[in-house]
Amino acid sequence: MERDQKQNSPRKLEEMRPIWHSGFAVPESYGGAEADVLTTMLTMEGLGYGGGDNGLIFAINAQMWSVQMPIFKFGTEAQKQNICPP
Protein backbone atom coordinates (compact mmCIF):
# COMPACT_ATOMS: atom_id res chain seq x y z
CA MET A 1 0.00 0.00 0.00
CA GLU A 2 2.87 2.35 0.77
CA ARG A 3 4.33 1.74 -2.69
CA ASP A 4 0.95 2.59 -4.26
CA GLN A 5 0.70 5.83 -2.30
CA LYS A 6 4.17 6.88 -3.42
CA GLN A 7 3.39 5.73 -6.97
CA ASN A 8 6.63 3.79 -7.21
CA SER A 9 6.66 0.98 -9.72
CA PRO A 10 8.53 -2.17 -8.73
CA ARG A 11 12.04 -2.43 -10.14
CA LYS A 12 11.36 -5.80 -11.76
CA LEU A 13 8.47 -4.35 -13.76
CA GLU A 14 10.74 -1.58 -15.02
CA GLU A 15 13.20 -4.25 -16.17
CA MET A 16 10.38 -6.03 -18.01
CA ARG A 17 9.35 -2.91 -19.95
CA PRO A 18 10.96 -4.05 -23.25
CA ILE A 19 8.76 -7.17 -23.29
CA TRP A 20 5.45 -5.39 -23.15
CA HIS A 21 6.54 -2.50 -25.34
CA SER A 22 7.65 -4.84 -28.11
CA GLY A 23 4.67 -7.14 -27.66
CA PHE A 24 5.31 -10.53 -26.19
CA ALA A 25 2.89 -12.32 -28.52
CA VAL A 26 3.56 -10.07 -31.52
CA PRO A 27 5.33 -11.71 -34.49
CA GLU A 28 9.12 -11.27 -34.64
CA SER A 29 8.83 -9.60 -38.04
CA TYR A 30 7.13 -6.69 -36.25
CA GLY A 31 9.60 -6.49 -33.38
CA GLY A 32 7.82 -8.81 -30.95
CA ALA A 33 8.89 -12.00 -29.22
CA GLU A 34 6.39 -14.23 -31.10
CA ALA A 35 5.66 -16.25 -27.98
CA ASP A 36 2.86 -18.81 -28.13
CA VAL A 37 -0.32 -18.33 -26.11
CA LEU A 38 0.72 -20.66 -23.27
CA THR A 39 4.13 -19.02 -22.83
CA THR A 40 2.55 -15.57 -22.92
CA MET A 41 -0.11 -16.56 -20.38
CA LEU A 42 2.46 -18.09 -18.01
CA THR A 43 4.67 -15.01 -18.31
CA MET A 44 1.76 -12.70 -17.50
CA GLU A 45 0.78 -14.94 -14.58
CA GLY A 46 4.34 -14.80 -13.25
CA LEU A 47 4.38 -11.02 -13.57
CA GLY A 48 1.09 -10.93 -11.69
CA TYR A 49 2.50 -12.95 -8.80
CA GLY A 50 5.85 -11.19 -8.61
CA GLY A 51 5.12 -7.73 -9.94
CA GLY A 52 3.04 -6.26 -7.18
CA ASP A 53 0.92 -4.18 -9.57
CA ASN A 54 -1.89 -6.31 -10.95
CA GLY A 55 -3.54 -3.29 -12.56
CA LEU A 56 -0.52 -2.87 -14.80
CA ILE A 57 -0.54 -6.56 -15.75
CA PHE A 58 -4.27 -6.31 -16.50
CA ALA A 59 -3.63 -3.28 -18.74
CA ILE A 60 -0.81 -5.06 -20.59
CA ASN A 61 -3.04 -8.07 -21.23
CA ALA A 62 -5.95 -5.89 -22.34
CA GLN A 63 -3.73 -4.05 -24.82
CA MET A 64 -2.12 -7.23 -26.11
CA TRP A 65 -5.23 -9.36 -26.60
CA SER A 66 -7.89 -6.79 -27.47
CA VAL A 67 -5.82 -4.33 -29.54
CA GLN A 68 -2.58 -5.77 -30.89
CA MET A 69 -3.61 -9.32 -31.74
CA PRO A 70 -6.81 -8.44 -33.67
CA ILE A 71 -4.80 -5.94 -35.72
CA PHE A 72 -2.18 -8.57 -36.52
CA LYS A 73 -4.85 -11.06 -37.46
CA PHE A 74 -7.28 -8.84 -39.40
CA GLY A 75 -5.55 -5.50 -40.03
CA THR A 76 -3.93 -4.11 -43.12
CA GLU A 77 -0.16 -4.00 -43.49
CA ALA A 78 -0.25 -0.23 -42.84
CA GLN A 79 -2.10 -0.79 -39.56
CA LYS A 80 0.37 -3.49 -38.53
CA GLN A 81 3.33 -1.20 -39.24
CA ASN A 82 1.69 1.60 -37.27
CA ILE A 83 1.02 -0.52 -34.16
CA CYS A 84 4.42 -2.23 -33.89
CA PRO A 85 7.01 -1.18 -36.44
CA PRO A 86 9.94 -3.55 -37.09
Those residues with Cβ within 8 angstroms of residue 52's Cβ, 6 or more apart along the chain or in another chain: 3, 10, 13
pLDDT digits (tens, 9 = 90+) for 48-73: 787 667 787 788 888 888 888 898 88
What pLDDT shows up at residue 74?
A: 93
Q: Which of 14-18, 35-39, 67-71 has the lowest mean pLDDT?
A: 14-18
* 23-81 has CATH 1.10.540.10 classification: yes
Listed residue (76, 82, 75, 65) closest to 31, CA to CA: 82
